[in-house]
Structure 1
Amino acid sequence: MRALEVTSFGAPDVLRLVERPDPRPRSGTVRVRIHATAVNPVDWWVRRGTMADRTPHLSFPFTLGFDIAGTVLDSADGFTAGQRVVGLYPWFVEGTGQGTNSEIIHADPRWLAPLPDAVDWATAATVPLNSLTARQSLDLLGLAPGATVLITGASGAVGSFAAQLAVADGAEVLAVASSGDEAYVSSLGVEHVLSRDEPHRLVEAIRKATPHGVDRVFDAALIGTPLLGAVRDGGGFVSAVEAVAPAPERGVTVVGVHAKPNSAQLADVIGRVAARDLHTRVAEVLPIAQGAQAHRRVEEGGFRGKLVLTF
């Protein structure tokens, strides 16, 4: 099988495409042949060594990748050989350095959900990590119908899922869109779309719309502490990355989210994607041999949607 390996911490050119033996069947898991996997910011953070403190026992070479979009090779635990599946690989929890940048992986069946035929491989690869981060963040916020929630980064993969899911949950959503992406965010069902601006100006705009502050904030754009002023006293704040979550004040509850595999939640989301009730964007699809190029482009930014690698 092919695998895109990280040979040392550093720039994208530390990535190498290699041939490795196909993994053998293993008790308690099913093997999945990966057809597509997204490149997420966390991938290049790990590759650069930014998150080395979370992986002290990791040795080189290793493979990255969180998003599973592929075909089951073994009939077991409710899945049949040849079945299309989508799933979230808990890369940090597993700690083996064997992610979805490998052509064949071992997966716990509890990580997986059936993939409807209506969803192509590339689209499916954009769903697991991003949608589960969004869903579980909203759950942490404990949104009640009619509650006001501010979602930053609503043009991005995580934020756009959060905006759509919050609207479906019955919340009143204020969403921050990148410049030029306001129409897209509005098309997701969001009534209050704010253009990205300096944090203090953004807080002023939010306070103008909701003088007492919003009930909840999901900070997918990682603005952090400057955004806390947008939340009412006693409200809630969830950061997509715990390390940049602000210190609590005024009774505001502040937590970071760590997305976990959840087959029921993923089955619900991918079903809504298949029905076109939820939308996701693919910026470009590249073969796994161009993995270094994909990482370079993700670091540079400036595109809309996810970059997807295919085998």
Structure 2
Amino acid sequence: MRVVEVTAYGGPEVLSMARRPEPEAGAMPGKVRVRLRAAGVNVADLRIRAGLYVDQMGELRPPFVLGTDFAGTLLDPAPGPRGSLPAGTRVAGFVPWYELLDGQGTYAEVLWADPEWLAPLPDDVEFTAAASVPLAAITARQGIDQLDLAPGATLLVTGASGVVGRFAVQLAAAAGLRVIAVSYEGDESELKVLGAKECVPRGEPVDVLRQVRELAPDGVDGVFDGALVGTPMLAAVKDGGVFVAIAPDRVPAAERGVRVEFDRARPDASRLAEVFDQVAARELVTRVADVLPLEEVAEAHRRAEAGRRPGRIILMI
């Protein structure tokens, strides 16, 4: 089968097409095979490929296969969150790549999957849209849970134009929070439709902080740091508030009684199935920026790093 390997740490040019043996039925007890149709390109993929997490990678070294989000069809029957899933079922999910550190990601034609990673796809959710959802939505859902803010509290969401940030805005607003969204210019109207109360344009942290203080003079109750700003944005939080980071190298040191949490998404098939029901019902909205074939993975990484269009870049497989 075709895979994309990281051959060394570096720029997009280190990504190379390769062939590996296709998984055989029953070879890994407890796991099932999924034939992939689409895979998402995540910020973590870019950072791992660039070597930013080398010290946290254990013994794993190139060559390895990147990728967390996926959508495809089951090759083997599997238990599901709402009953058995027969072979041929359309499914999506995400690989806890960073916890496993076995180098077996979703930039491949066939994947071994734990059934706990998998949710069935509603018929009207396409593979490309589905591959943009799992990691981002679960990261946002679990991050909002970690914040544990009461209805009416003020939450600052950085990176609100991105896929994770957009889900955080929607889920926080549904929980009754007053959301201040840090967004790309031009996204304000859409984010307000999705639930943001106010928006401030992205920019240097000092400029963002000044505008946030104009909207929340005493500081915000919490920050969901979808833009990976880290320490500079801690100043937006009032004493005794809470800050949730989603990258291990962007977790600020706690101060002023601020509770600092690291949100590393954990697979949850039941919750993911609920998310896809909401996506199908248009209660949650995702965004796909570009769709490219697997062979153009280096270009996909270049576009993701350039940030030309907010949203998830999807690889068609």
TM bin (shorter chain): over 0.9
**Alpha carbons 2:117, 2:268 under 8 Å: kept:** yes
1:199 equivalent to 2:205? Answer yes
Contact 1:66 1:91 in 2 (8 A): yes
- Residue in 2 aligned with 1:75? 77
Which residue of the other structure, out of 209, 230, 236, is the alignment partner of 2:215? 209
Match of 1:42 among 41, 44, 48: 44
How far apart in 2 are the matches of 1:14 and 1:201? 36
* Cα 1:76/1:278, change in 2 over 3 Å: closer
Determine if the alignment matches structure 1 residue 136 to structure 2 residue 136. no
Amino acid at match of 2:142: Q
Deviations 1:209-229 (A, max 9, x none): 222211111111122222222
Equivalent residue of 2:239, what SS? strand
TM-score (norm 1): 0.96
Q: What is residue 8 of structure 2 aligned with on the other side?
A: 8
Cα offsets for 1:7-59 (capped at 9, x unmatched) = 12222122121222210122101101111011111112111211111213113
Shift of 1:76: 2.9
For the 8 Å contact 1:66–1:88, the answer to whether it is kept is yes
Partner of 1:65: 67
| Helix, strand or coil at the partner of 2:284 | coil
The CA distance in 2 between the partners of 1:238 and 1:44, in whole Å, is 21
Could you tell me how far apart the structure 1 residues matched to 2:271 and 2:78 are?
21
d(CA) in 1 for partners of 2:100, 2:158:
30
Code of the aligned partner of 1:195? P
**Within 5 A, what are the aligned runs for 1:164-203?**
164-203=170-209
The whole-number CA distance in structure 2 between the counterparts of 1:212 and 1:269 is 34
Identity across aligned pairs (percent)?
50
Question: Does residue 1:241 correspond to 2:247, yes or no?
Answer: yes
Task: In structure 2, give the amino acid aligned to 1:75.
Answer: P
1:1-311 alignment runs, 5 A limit: 1-25=1-25, 26-77=28-79, 78-311=84-317
**Please, what is the CA RMSD of the aligned residues?**
1.3
In structure 2, the residue corresponding to 1:133 is in which secondary structure?
helix
CA distance in 2, matches of 1:29, 1:63: 18
Q: Distance in 2 between matches of 1:52 and 1:36?
A: 27
Give the Cα–Cα distance (whole angstroms) in 2 for the partners of residues 168 and 217 of structure 1.
16
Question: Deviations along 1:144-191, whole A, 9 cap, x unmatched?
Answer: 211111111100111110000001111111111112222222221212
Deviation at 1:200, TM superposition (A): 2.2
Structure 2: distance between partners of 1:193 and 1:227? 16
Rounded to whole Å, the distance in 2 between the matches of 1:58 and 1:24 is: 24
| Deviation for aligned residue 1:310 | 0.9
Question: Over residues 78-105 of structure 1, what are the superposed CA-to-partner deviations in whole Å (9 max), with x where a residue is unaligned?
Answer: 2210001111101111111010111111
Aligned counterparts of 1:196 and 1:298: Cα–Cα separation in 2: 17
SS of aligned partner of 1:145: coil
Residues 88 and 260, structure 1, Cα contact 8 Å, conserved in 2: no
How many matched pairs?
311
Retained in 2: the 8 A contact 1:72–1:82? yes
Q: Decide whether aligned partners of structure 1 residues 76 and 280 sit closer, same or farther in structure 2, where only a CA change above 3 A counts.
A: closer
Partner Cα distance (2:210, 2:181) in 1? 14
1:265 Cα shift? 1.7
Tell which deviates more after alignment, 159-168 or 56-65.
Answer: 56-65
Instruction: Tell me how far apart the structure 1 counterparts of residues 85 and 101 of structure 2 sit (CA, whole Å).
Output: 25
**3-state SS of paired residue (2:217):** coil
CA distance in 1, matches of 2:64, 2:237: 41
Q: Can you list the C-alpha shifts for 1:207-248, whole angstroms capped at 9, x where unaligned?
A: 222222111111111222222222111110111213222221
Q: CA–CA distance in 2 between the matches of 1:20 and 1:275?
A: 39
- The C-alpha deviation readout for 1:249-278, integer Å capped at 9, x for no partner, is 111101221111111221111111111111
Structure 2: unaligned runs, 5 residues or longer: none
Contact kept? 2:158, 2:165, Cα under 8 Å: yes
